[in-house]
Structures are given as structure tokens and as C-alpha cells.
Amino acid sequence: MLVEIQVQCPHCGEVITTMADTSQGDYTTIEDCEVCCAPMNIEVICEPDRVEEVRVTLA
């Protein structure tokens, strides 16, 4: 179950829209910022089909 989320890049400050897969519960992933291409660590706190919190830190 994919849910659209917005994350703010900790490197350049841009807000990026990406998809979170909520089917497996909480997870952490690393994605590259679309704007500055730097990696960011995205922690998704979720239940199936519902995102409760998104935390972004430097990867």
C-alpha cells in the first residue's frame, strides 16, 4: 500500500514528494534527493495505508 509523503531534504532544504510503502509497518530507507542528489535517511512510522510520522536525517 503506497502512500504519498513529503520529506524535506536535510542537505538543500527542498521538499520532495515520494511514495512510502506502508504494508510492512515502520521502516527506514535511503533515497537520493531529486534536487541535490545527496542521500537522505528516511524513517517512516506507519500502519497499513496510513503514515503517522516521517523523520528525515542525514545519511
Residues that bind Zn ion (CB under 5 A): 9, 11-12, 33, 35-36
CB atoms within 10 A of CB 48: 10
Q: Which is nearer to Zn ion, 20 or 56 (CB)?
A: 56
Question: To the nearest whole angstrom, how small is the minimum distance from the Cβ of residue 33 to Zn ion?
Answer: 3
- Which of 22, 10, 24, 13 lies closest to 50 in space, CA to CA? 22
| Residue 1 or 58 having the CB closest to Zn ion | 58
**Shortest separation between residue 25's beta carbon and Zn ion, angstroms:** 27
What are 19's three cell numbers? Answer: 511514495
